[in-house]
Amino acid sequence: MGVGADGPRPLAVVLIEDDPGDALLVRELVADCAAPIDLHWCTAVAEAADRLVGADCVLLDLDLPDARGVEAVTRVQTDAPDVPIVVLTGDRAQGRGIDAVSRGAQDYLIKGTIDAEGFERALSYAIERKGAQRAAAALQASRMQERQSRRLMRGLLPAPLVSPGHPVQVTARYRPGRANNLLGGDFYDVVEDERGHIQVLIGDVAGHGPAEAALGVALRIAWRALVLAGVPVGTRLIRLEQLLRAERHADQVFATALCLSIDPHDRLVQVRRAGHPGVIEVGPAAARWIEPAGGPALGVVGDRPDIPGETITVAPGASLVLMTDGLFEGRVDAAGARLGEEGLLGLVDRCRETAPPGTELLDAVIEGAERASASYGGLADDVAALRVCW
């Protein structure tokens, strides 16, 4: 029973019974029950439709003017799938009651054979059984979502395709958004091409959910295939744009992307950027934000031209940090201000100086961003981050 401010809340029970005599017997049982019960009597399933909203339980006759037998159970389940059903039957052989339970009713009572105590107990058990069924269904759905997330994670967050001992080292981190720990559309990849150069991709499909995650997987796999096929770096974004337009589920869906091409024998890095945040160079003495020239996000404009990239020079001993915007979009004060790119740069600089020996810089930075936003809703978006050093 529910509990209100003045004691137990009465159970809201809907009786669907067309026989006035049988309805009177149920009213007498209700009057003799120890627990408070609000009984609402209807003579047909159609008449009861509005009453079922918010009901705790339904008492259902199987011989009604508009539904007979298990059809009545199915009709009530359609109108109120979360409300438990206790069937009323005059069949002393119990066959119809058992059949109704097999079709989804929680219990059955044989008319004229039950007392108030048994009646009250049947209602209570039916409500508990329905609650257990809902909990089991929710657990199953959660497990299915978890399995789906694991499958998508394998597609979004692959193992780098780099030969052992390669001088370019990449560290990757991924943190799902706080809602149900489900994946969004953040993705990355690291591939060594036929020349021994390292090709790095990080991107973010706008939105959250399985459709966005699946699109991120498609973009990431396509990019890897383009690298392995020897497609020039400038053409890859053109092809990804074409793929996004073909695969997206709505015209407003877009994706950002940042591509690096690294020759391990020098400190020059070719960068192509489509609406994505820039990179942070983390040197021995300081961190600095680099915002290479670029074009709009994938899917925002028409046919994408081959926009020339920009070559940046990375200082000796420095590494590059790439991230999706979830890392700096968290709110950090009561007024709603966000950490932002400048705040993230300051955080990286502090972590560079204060992180304990042996601590991966990305871990310290993500932990710092989480700590800064913890009191104001936390990091709501997915976070993908890469650190590249050579």
How many other CB atoms sit within 10 Å of the CB of residue 305? Answer: 11
Contact of 176 with 184, CB cutoff 8 Å = yes
pLDDT tens-digit series, residues 149-203: 665 555 567 788 999 999 999 999 988 775 545 567 899 999 999 999 999 999 9
Domains of the chain: 2-136 (3.40.50.2300), 157-389 (3.60.40.10)
Question: If you average pLDDT over residues 312-319, what whole number do you get?
Answer: 95
**CB contact set of 199 (below 8 Å; sequence gap of 6+):** 190, 191, 192, 193, 227, 233, 259, 260, 261, 262
CA atoms of 254 and 233, how far apart (whole Å): 20
Specify the pLDDT at position 307. 74
- CA angle, corner 84, sides to 83 and 87, nearest 5? 130
How many other CB atoms sit within 10 Å of the CB of residue 13? Answer: 21
pLDDT-above-90 percentage for the chain:
68
Mean pLDDT value across the chain: 89
Contact of 261 with 269, CB cutoff 8 Å = yes
How many other CB atoms sit within 10 Å of the CB of residue 337? Answer: 11
Specify the pLDDT at position 209. 78
pLDDT tens-digit series, residues 260-304: 999 999 999 999 999 999 999 999 999 999 999 989 999 998 777
| DSSP 8-state code for residue 75 | H
